[in-house]
A and B are shown apart, each in its own frame.
Chain A
Amino acid sequence: MREINTAAVTGLVSSLYQEANFSLPADVLAAFRNATQLEKSERGRKVLESLLENADIAARGRVPLCQDTGLAVVFVRIGQDVHLSGRPLAEAVNEGVARAQKEGCLRASVVNSPCLRRENTGDNTPAVIHEEIVPGEAFDIAVLPKGAGSENMSRLRMLRPADGLTGVINFAVETVEAAGAQPCPPVFLGVGVGGTMDRAAGLSKQALLRPAGKAHTDPELAAVEQEILERVNAVGIGPAGLGGTVTCLGVALEEVPCHIASLPVAVNIQCNCARRASGSL
């Protein structure tokens, strides 16, 4: 049995959330650089250069990469031999997000009671927290600041089993086409297939944690990811939607078993500012 005081969780979440908002992961920057070679539109290449310059300015000056510093999505993997002491885990995580907002001069982008009042909570909390219990004594955290521009363009559909793989691929392509210039292309796609509607949605978000350019370990699913990528890049939206051959920088698809009568598909669009950071205690 390993004991972890949740005060350490607060510190880790705060530093990860700030790091994610100031510095893009190396794989995302590599995807930008690669795209400047692939993009046929001069205007598109100029947008990609701007994104690289933006990343440089943000990292050097510790300025948020984007003014939408996100709704905090926090994935926590807890080994079942870990005992958490101190404040409840959710409180500790939210305290970390609030501390990051204050220390990092991040934006408070959360409103409470979306049905009735829409009042800003003032500290960018609460986070959306996903907990997973795993064997052993590990304690891992991944943060994903999620901007609303791309989140708002994400979609879920309960397909018929008869729609099959073609239906899954078509739905992903249609989702990007319908989103157009709005989600800050070039985008990344997380595709979740199977389970129930909530499981598919969660899976599509989790897929966004996979580094850009890393294909699925199953070669058949990797081929599906590649097909979605090629078809999306044929729609012409391009960087910033100004027209071009690079609309998407990466597709990560995950699947889980589902009901004999179901084929749930969720497509989570991630903007070009594909921020994430992870750490362990």
Chain B
Amino acid sequence: MAVKLKPPLLVGDVTSLRAGDEVLITGVIYTARDAAHRRLAELIEHRRDLPLELEGQVIYYTGPTPPSPGRPTGSAGPTTSSRMDPFTPAILSRGVRALIGKGERSQTVVEALQSHGAVYLAAVGGAGALLAETVIAAEPVAYRELGPEAIYRFRVKDFPAVVVNDAHGGDLFRSGRDRYRRRS
């Protein structure tokens, strides 16, 4: 049974999750990738105001394709999360509770998830058309000039993901790989 998540999230909503749990997210999530992360991290470093409130929010690492007429978004699957690693501790310090992407995180990020009370979720990489079906509405909220790298507010219904790194050190990528590794 998948756990239903409805952002904004409280610390308790995510500390009850464990690596391997499947989740379905309904509500608002924010997209951000490389260029937006660099800008947000700089603002945080200089203690300036951010273009959006991060407390309790979910960040989705994606750069969608432009929507065809009549659709809220184009294809919108996860991008490689490790590129956001250098900026992630700063983002988490502002109360972000969940990050969605694909692929492994650095040890620094894994530890920051535990110290801040947040989780890292994986969505299926390569399933951008399928995941876009869960997006009901999309609007740019910051850095429009970055095009696909702008921050969008997505309203989603039952966006599917799985907990990879929980707030207690659990790691599905590691445990899954160990379970199926065969010695040759």
Contacts and interface: CB of A to CB of B under 8 A. Distances in A.
Interface of A: 40-41, 43, 47, 50-51, 53-54, 57-58, 61-69, 105-109, 120, 122, 148-149, 152, 180-184, 230-231, 234-238, 240-245, 271-273
Contact of A181 (B104, B130, B147, B148): B104
A180 B67 contact: no
B68 to A, nearest CB: 5
Contacts of A231: 184
Interface stretch (B40-48, B87-95, B172-180): B172-180
A272 B162 contact: no
B86 interface: no
Given A109-B148, A182-B103, A234 B76 contact: no
Interface of B: 62-68, 71, 74-77, 79-80, 82, 102-104, 122, 124-130, 132-133, 146-148, 162, 164, 172-173, 175-184
B180 A107 contact: no
B128 A54 contact: yes
A208 B64 CA distance: 25
A66 B128 contact: yes
A38 to B, nearest CB: 12
10 contacts: A50-B127, A50-B130, A54-B129, A64-B75, A65-B129, A149-B125, A183-B103, A241-B173, A242-B173, A243-B177
B176 A53 contact: no
A170 to B, nearest CB: 11
Contacts of A242: 122, 162, 164, 172-173, 176
Given A63-B75, A105-B68, A241-B103, 16 more contacts: A54-B127, A63-B65, A67-B75, A69-B75, A107-B65, A107-B148, A149-B80, A152-B80, A181-B173, A182-B102, A182-B104, A184-B102, A240-B125, A241-B102, A242-B122, A243-B175
Contacts of B178: 236, 243
Given A107-B65, A182-B80, A234 B124 contact: no
Contacts of A53: 127, 130
A230 B182 CA distance: 10
A231 B183 CA distance: 9
A120 B68 CA distance: 20
Nearest to A234: B182
Contacts of B128: 54, 63-68
Contacts of A40: 180
B65 A180 contact: no
B80 A66 contact: no
Nearest to A231: B184
B181 A236 contact: yes
A264 to B, nearest CB: 25
A108 B75 CA distance: 13
Nearest to B66: A105
B104 A236 contact: no
Q: Identify which of B67, B68, B77 gathers the most chain A CB atoms within 10 Å of its CB.
A: B77
Given A54-B126, A152-B80, A240-B124, A63 B103 contact: no
A61 to B, nearest CB: 7
A243 B74 contact: no
A184 B65 contact: no
A26 B125 CA distance: 20
B176 A244 contact: yes
Contact of A64 (B65, B103, B175, B176): B65
Given A57-B133, A231-B184, A236-B180, A51 B127 contact: yes
B65 to A, nearest CB: 4
Closest 5 CB pairs of A and B: A243-B176, A182-B103, A236-B181, A184-B125, A236-B180
Contacts of B75: 58, 63-67, 69
Nearest to A179: B103
Contacts of B64: 67, 107
Nearest to A182: B103
A180 B180 contact: no
Given A240-B125, A243-B179, A273-B126, A182 B184 contact: no
Q: Identify which of A40, A61, A67, A109 gathers the most chain B CB atoms within 10 Å of its CB.
A: A67
